[in-house]
Amino acid sequence: MGAAEKNVRGMGTAAKAAVFFTVLVAWVLLDQFTKSLFSGMQPAGVLAGPFAGLIDIRLVHNTGGAWGIFSDSTFGLGVFSVVVCVVIAGFFFATIKQTSGLQTFAFALIVAGGIGNAIDRFVQGYVTDFIEFSFIDFPVFNVADIGVTCGFALLIIGLLVSWRKDGAEGE
């Protein structure tokens, strides 16, 4: 790949790898820090809020997945998270030359979120969730969940942009 082709996708592979690892580590640290604020506390109703009429702080010890699926399957969900993170990271590095900067950021958020919740599952036996929308009925979530959700949305956007660029170049 020539220098001109490298610039079409934005960054070189070393820069993408650095962004991936930096975002991954920063997001896991942010996730673990926010969860540590509730260390030793037991779930008990709304702790604070609503903030701007949107969000409450409600501590939940989640032994299952979103919406309570697979309740009491903490270890199995932790193993599943690690396997999925390894597969996603492997796919990212296998396709790093074709991956845009936005896609790199997205992959890092997804993997970081999975790792953040897996750490909880293996260390505590549950995931610490604490963010609750006060205006809709939605599961309580955490910073790791935000990484997975936003990362997935950004990945879709990045793929659509990439496909559009590739289509425009082919015309």
Catalytic (active-site) positions: 129, 145
* Angle at the Cα of 103 from the Cα atoms of 12 and 165, rounded to 5 degrees: 85
Residues 6+ apart with CB under 8 A from 144: 27, 28, 31, 112, 113, 114, 115, 116, 117, 120, 127
For residues 95-133, b (16+ Cβ closer than 10 Å) or e, as one string?
ebeebbebbbbbbbbbbbbbbbbbbbbeeeebbbbbbbe
